[in-house]
Structure 1
Amino acid sequence: MRGKESSTGGNSKWLHGLPEVRLEKCHLGVMTSEEVMEMSVLSITNTQAFDPLGTPSVDGLYDRRLGTVEVGVNCQTCGQSWAQCMGHMGHIELPCPVYNPLYFKDTLRLLQTICRRCTMLNIPNEQSDFFIAQMQLIYSGKLREMDELIQESKQYNDMEQFGVFIKEYKSKSSQNDLLEELTTSIIDVRADTVKKFYDDFFRKTLKRCCHCQSYIPVYRSERTLQILSSVRKGQKSLYHNRR
């Protein structure tokens, strides 16, 4: 970083003296409620951001415990100035559970794939076993064996024969040793495999469960606020079975 100070202009003085760190890996995910509470320095309860004099309100969105952007005013959590303080996290306690807008579409698709009666995913067991076999090979680093499994599975157009093939494969396959750390190429293959499985089964709108033949209700959403379900036209009951 110090070798690039000449190209950073006036900001080079902030880089002077900082240790050089090489980023080896980055993991992205959604924090749990416990993790949010552990990192939070205060609960945001004041709807007024500033008082009449323009000073940040206590327990508001600009509470100085969250950090400061004012010159000459230090952060009330770490005591650093606006230049050194990186900011701190607060939290807002909601009065009732809400849907995460980032995962709302996926939640809706997942509901459309779950049977209310048998609580099973509306996916044939043969396809589920095939996906699990692929993931086991991926986490064991056996990408060549996975490609061979996929190519061999293409020979079976009949679902019954495909099911027999998967059962025989599971009985012959030994317990694979999982890798302690996945390489970039393995992570890419895993992402492609999960996406294909998701596109093949979670984007379809099916009327009946493939396991118990019960009707699957119709789901619709009102923005990202709520999900409503209704019985299909001409359908007597959600649990009516075809005889």
Structure 2
Amino acid sequence: MGSYSQVEHTRIEDIGFRIYTEDEIRHISLVEVTNDESFNELGHIIPSGLYDLRMGPVPGRTKDICQTCGKTNLRCQGHCGHIELPLPVYNPFFYNVLNKTLRGICCNCHRIQVRAHHVLLLKYQMQLLDAGYGYEALELENILSRSISSPMEATEVAVGIDDKELSQKDAGIVADLMNLKKTLSKYCDKVIRGGTCSPETSTSIIKNLETEVVKSFIKKCYYSDKKRCIFCHQSIVRLTLQNSRFIRSGVNKKEKDKDKDKDKDKDGQTEEVEAEREEREEEGGKWRREI
């Protein structure tokens, strides 16, 4: 007698989770919630509200029937709805991810604190890992080390901004990056389209490699030991996450003094305005008494 352990396709080896995209949410949604009221004065459910019957009956109301599947609250499993938000809202489940991302970005020039060749390495490594090539993705690090004889300088290369022409130094950096991009792209195309290598069958290995690659990239972005941005050379402003709020910290004394001076100027202007108003009121009172 056979058993399920002998059947290859009945064993679950790996499982992964992800969130729905905007298009997927709209596709599976049966109603768009546009009304902030749920019940009217008679206790009836308001259409397009949070308890719209197209999403299923309300628990405790045995007479209500689902308008989608036609079942009662004991049989209906519920259906999805969605709310169109006027502005982008960050998912609170990913505050830690956002915190890690902001730790590696300059608040002045809004650039990630990592050199350009590391960004190219991450891009093509993730491209190979998505296709299932783990060993080949790690091999890109060796290709990068061979392609770059000396570390690239972290300078701001601005093309077409304020009509500034590139210096010879910046032009050389751009040329090196373009050559590196061609080398990495050619290698990825050879692996994926050429079929010279077989992809990894275990998704758990690929997921672990993706996690390690991303962690390595994030560590390069952190500026815990850096006091200034590697691009604009401005002082680093740190953000701390407290009670689901990002609080600015590490402000320089000069900035604090400037803020204090601004406050003093505002206070001085308000005091002068109040003094002038009091003088006018006194003059008006004297004028009335003389009349």
> Do the structures match in fold with TM over 0.5?
yes
> Following the alignment from structure 1 to structure 2, what is the Cα–Cα distance between the partners of residues 188 and 106?
17
Counterpart of 2:275 in structure 1 is: none
Displacement of 1:211: 2.0
> Which is higher, the Rg of structure 1 or of structure 2?
2
1:110 aligns with 2:122: no
Partners in 2 of 1:42 and 1:193 — Cα distance? 39
Aligned length: 208
CA contact (8 A) 1:56 1:62 kept: no
Aligned with residue 31 of structure 1, among 21, 31, 46: 21
User: Which residue is equivalent to 2:123?
Assistant: 132
The alignment status of 1:58 with 2:77, answered yes or no, reads no
Aligned to 2:56: 67
Kindly state the Cα deviation for residue 43 of structure 1 after the two structures are TM-superposed.
Answer: 1.1
Q: Is the 8 A contact 1:124 1:211 kept in 2?
A: no
Letter of the 2:102 partner, please give it: L
Aligned partner of 1:31: which letter? T
- Please give the root-mean-square deviation of Cα atoms over the aligned residues, in Å: 4.5
Kept after mapping to 2: 8 A contact 1:114/1:122: yes
| Number of the residue aligned with 2:68 | 77
TM-superposed deviation, 1:170: 5.7
Aligned mate of 1:143, from 119, 134, 144: 134
Structure 2 length normalisation: TM-score? 0.52
Percent sequence identity over matched residues? 27
Q: Structure 1, unaligned stretches of length 5 or more?
A: 1-20, 238-243
1:117–1:96 CA distance, 2 compared to 1 (3 A): closer
Q: Determine the structure 2 residue equivalent to 1:18.
A: none
What TM-score, normalized to structure 1?
A: 0.60
Q: 1:214 aligns to what?
A: 234
CA displacement 1:187-223 (0-9 Å, x = unmatched): 432233223323x135544432112212232324563
Alpha-carbon distance in 1 for matches of 2:18, 2:34: 25
Q: How far 1:99 moved relative to its partner?
A: 3.3
1:234 aligns with 2:261: no
Instruction: State the Cα deviation string for residues 11-66 of structure 1 (Å, max 9, x = none).
Output: xxxxxxxxxx999976622432x544441414163455x6788x663255333332
In structure 1, distance between residues paired with 2:65 and 2:140: 61
Instruction: Please give the secondary structure, in 2, of the residue aligned with 1:161.
Output: coil
- Aligned equivalents of 2:95, 2:123: Cα separation in 1: 25
Partner of 2:214: 194
